Amino acid sequence: MDATSNSSTYPDRLETFSGYWDDNEATARQLAAIGHVFDRPPLEAIEEGSRCVSCSCFVKKELSVRALEGNSAGNYEQSFKNFTYHRSGCIRLQVRIPLEPQATLGGLHGGLRMQELKSKWESRSQPQAPPLPHFHVGQTSSLFSLPTELRLQIYSMILPALDAITEIVPINRDSARVVTKSGQEKTGPRDLTKSNLLRTCKAIHNEALDLLFTNRTYRFANAKTLYLFLRAIGSTGRALLSRVDIYCGSREDAITFALLATCPKLRHLTLRIPRPRLLFPLAPIWQVDGVACLLSLSGLEDVGFEECGASFPRFLREGSHDAELVRGELRRARGERSSVRWVGGFPDL
C-alpha cells in the first residue's frame, strides 16, 4: 500500500520514519498518528521533516521535535507557533493534538488572545516554590550509606501522598497543566516544599521519582488529559509509568496512544470504550487512527475493559470478540509483528 495515499494506515506511515528518526521515536509516532510520513528532499542541504499524506503540508523536523517532545511546563501552546501540520480543510484535522491552535476554533472561549492572557494569569497566580538551600546533595552524602529500602521509605515520608488509583485532571478545560484531582479540590495554599526532594540531585530524583509510578494506577477521564500528563512527566516519567486507566472515544485518541507506546514499563491498561465494537462501517478517520494507535501498543501483562458510566450503557465489554482481539494484540511481545490485517485503510477485525 502507498504510504502517501489517503487510505494509508498508521503502521504504514510509522514505517517511513524507521531508520531515520530512531532518536526521536516519540515525535515520529505522533506525526504518524496525525497523518504525516517521513519526507527528506533529494538535496541533502535541504532540511528533512515530514509531510501530511492528504494535504502535503511540510514541517521541518526541528519544529516537530520541539512541539511534540519539548518540555510542556512552559507555554505549551507557543511551541506550535508560526507553523501548522495541515492546510485548512485537510481531512487529517479530524485527529486532534490537544490545545494545538489549529485545532482550537477561533473565538471559542475568547480565541487565541484570551488563551494568551489566561496563560499569563495562570503563571502569575501559582504560588512560587521557595528557593532551595545553597548546597548540593551528592552521592557522597551519608544518605547513600543507608540501604536502598530505607532511603525509599524516607522518600515516601517526604513526598506528597498519592492514592493507589490517582485521578489526573487539567487545571481548567483550556490549560496544558494537569494536577491530581485531590490537589485540584484542595482549598487554601498548597505546600510546594514536599516536591523539593526531587530537585536535590539526579540520584535522589531518579530513586524518589520511581515511588510516584511503582504500583500506582493513573486514571484519566479522556485521552486529552492523558496526553498532557505524558507530556508533563517527560521521557523520564514515561520510562517509569506502568499502570493507566483511560476513558477513550475522542479525537485525541490517536496521538495519545501513539505517545503512550513510548512507555517501556507500561504493563497494566484499563480501557473504557463507549461503543460495543471497536469500529463500525464508515467510521471516521479519527476513530480508525485511534484504534490503529491503540493496537500498536504491545508488551502489556493485563488489559481490562470497564463500564463508561450511565450515559453510555453500551460499551466494549469483557469477553466480546473485539475486546479479546485488543487484549491479544496488546499482550504480544514487544517487537512482535501485529496479526491485524489492514484492507483499504481499515483493520480487518
The per-residue pLDDT for 110 is: 45
- Domain range spanning residue 153? 144-185+192-347
Instruction: Note whether 60 and 202 are same-domain residues.
Output: no
% of the chain at pLDDT higher than 90: 54
The backbone torsions φ and ψ at residue 346, rounded to the nearest 5 degrees and listed phi first, read -120, 145
What whole-number distance in Å separates Cα of residue 329 and Cα of residue 344? 20
Instruction: Note whether 203 and 291 are same-domain residues.
Output: yes
Domain count of the chain?
A: 2
Name the pLDDT band for 212 (thresholds 50, 70, 90): confident
Report the SS3 class of residue 200: coil
CATH number for position 164: 3.80.10
What whole-number distance in Å separates Cα of residue 194 and Cα of residue 216? 19
Last residue of a domain, one of 80, 95, 124: 80
| 175 belongs to a structural domain | yes
Query: What type of residue sits at position 65?
Result: V
Mean pLDDT is lowest, of 138-147, 148-157, 235-244, for 138-147
CATH number for position 14: 1.10.1170
Instruction: Note whether 160 and 71 are same-domain residues.
Output: no
Query: pTM for this one?
Result: 0.84
Which residue would you say has higher pLDDT here, 346 or 190? 346
**According to DSSP H, which parts of 263-320 are helical?**
285-295
Last residue of a domain, one of 30, 56, 80: 80
Instruction: Note whether 155 and 259 are same-domain residues.
Output: yes
Name the pLDDT band for 65 (thresholds 50, 70, 90): very high
| 103 belongs to a structural domain | no
For the segment 170-195, the average pLDDT, to the nearest whole number, is 74
Q: What angle do CA 309, 311, 315 make, to 5 degrees?
A: 65
Instruction: Note whether 170 and 264 are same-domain residues.
Output: yes
pLDDT tens digit string along 313-333? 999 999 999 999 999 999 999
The per-residue pLDDT for 194 is: 59
Instruction: Note whether 337 and 262 are same-domain residues.
Output: yes
The backbone torsions φ and ψ at residue 241, rounded to the nearest 5 degrees and listed phi first, read -60, 130
What whole-number distance in Å separates Cα of residue 130 and Cα of residue 136? 16
Taking every pair of C-alpha atoms in the chain, what is the biggest distance, in angstroms?
64
